[in-house]
Structure 1
Amino acid sequence: MSVRVIIVDDQTLVRQGIRGLLGISDEVDVVAEASDGAEALEKIAEVSPDVVLLDLRMPGMDGIATLEAMRAADITVPVLVLTTFDDAELVLGAMRAGARGYLLKDVTLEQLVGGIRTVASGGTLLQPAMTERLIKAVSTAPDPADSGGPIERLTERETDVLHLIAGGYSNREIAQMLHLAEGTVKNHVSMVLMKLQARDRTQAVLRALHAGVLG
């Protein structure tokens, strides 16, 4: 079954280009487009997409404001940010606002489709090309999720699982890669979330970056 996607970008040519690219794949179906966050919220309510592809720099309601509005309205559709290489601080804000991951706008069709499927299945995606910049942005910014308590040390296996979570892999894929039972991986993920005092996988990755666990 194809993943139903809405493209949110203020540039018409960019939206058309992404739609045309995804039209080559039979794994993704573009069901709507929006030019800003306000229109995106309307379209999400109309078409109920599986994934939102979101630009961050838009006039009016930008990407982060859109994510915050989605959270306030309890809209749980996963969001994949499409960004440029110099947007590390914006990406950090987007991830903290609830985005499941990000890709640079120069990705290949295979990478884009893979990213869409990753977040649609509940995964988190951090593109390696920008991770170093994101780490620098995290290291110089306060962590709003910081409860003030120390982060409990992860075991070697938990660290392995955390790196794969950051790579966007599902529990099933992590189990296959580490030769573990899927139930065991779920237990490791639960421990990672607990030790990092994180509410979900995305926040766990952000807190790990802030604490230097992934850096």
Structure 2
Amino acid sequence: MNDRRISVLIADDHSLMREGLKQILELEPDIKVISLSANGEEVIKDAQRYKPDVILMDINMPKMSGLDALRRLKDIGIDSKIIMLTIHDSREYLYETIRIGANGYVLKDADSDTLLKAIRDVDEGKSYIQPSLSELLVKDFNSRGERSKESALIESLTKREYEVLTLIAEGMNNREIAEKLFISEKTVKNHVSNIFKKIDVADRVQAAIFTFRNNIKKI
């Protein structure tokens, strides 16, 4: 039996939000909250001290924003998976967090089941993008008229790469994709590397968002 619990650091400048999230998470037998941070500077210190499995971080915080804290955590090599908490009108920050490389995105009005799934998914090495948030990104992307530019990138993918991309968007890791397609994990890794180069993304979250906004379906 696996008794491991996912350690979580919660970072939000509102005490009620921090305590509320803590109460929700601590009802789960497989999750433990190990630290609460009130601003971006505290997140950096607490992440280095406690080394949580997952950091749940608000984008808008004093002293150092969640965006700057995310960038700093990546720069200093923190291994924790990072889920950004955002609100409906924060899309201008979202594209930057995608570029920097957060592991998950959850809206602040999400229900507890969504939040728990996000934490468990990123802990397993998957990415998590709340469906309603991906819809916002798609809508914003379409309003910019950029779809035609990315059509050529999609057409550059082989049939197998296209298939692997759809499975990445489902949150599967390399091992799961290998089992699904009956190929080796090394082959999947090579496909993923080629996909990232062809569609010009840096990680699985960016690849998943690319898939959502271009309405790429399974073949």
TM-score (normalised: structure 2): 0.80
Amino acid of the residue matched to residue 24 of structure 1?
A: L
Specify the alignment match of 1:180 in structure 2.
Answer: 182
Aligned residue in 1 for 2:63: 60
The alpha-carbon deviation at position 196 of structure 1 amounts to 2.5
The secondary structure found in structure 1 opposite 2:172 is: coil
SS of aligned partner of 1:169: coil
- Secondary structure of the residue that 2:109 maps to in structure 1? coil
Q: 1:153 aligns with which of 149, 153, 156?
A: 156
Matched, 1:100 2:103: yes
Amino acid at match of 1:133: L
Aligned length: 208
Residue 8 of structure 2 aligns to a residue in which SS?
Answer: strand
2:143 and 2:40 mapped to 1: Cα distance?
28
1:70 aligns with 2:70: no
Q: Percent identity?
A: 35
Match of 1:50 in 2: 53
Post-superposition Cα deviations, 1:118-166, rounded to whole Å, max 9, x if no partner, equal 212222212111112213445678x9xxxxxx74611344223223323
Q: Does the aligned pair in 1 maintain the 2:48–2:78 contact within 8 Å?
A: no
Is 1:125 matched with 2:135?
Answer: no
Aligned partners of 1:89 and 1:134 also within 8 Å: no
Alpha-carbon distance in structure 1 between the residues aligned to 2:167 and 2:62: 35
Question: d(CA) in 2 for partners of 1:171 and 1:68?
Answer: 26
Alpha-carbon distance in 2 for matches of 1:213, 1:155: 17
Q: Which runs of 5+ in 1 are unaligned?
A: 144-149
- Tell me the C-alpha RMSD between the 2 structures: 2.9
Q: Which residues of structure 2 form unaligned runs of 5+? A: 147-151
Alignment of 1:24-43 (within 5 A): 24-43=27-46
Question: Could you say if the C-alpha distance between residues 161 and 119 of structure 1 is closer, same or farther in structure 2, counting changes exceeding 3 Å?
Answer: same
Partner of 1:49, secondary structure, is coil
- Provide the rounded CA distance (Å) in 1 between the counterparts of 2:182 and 2:189: 10
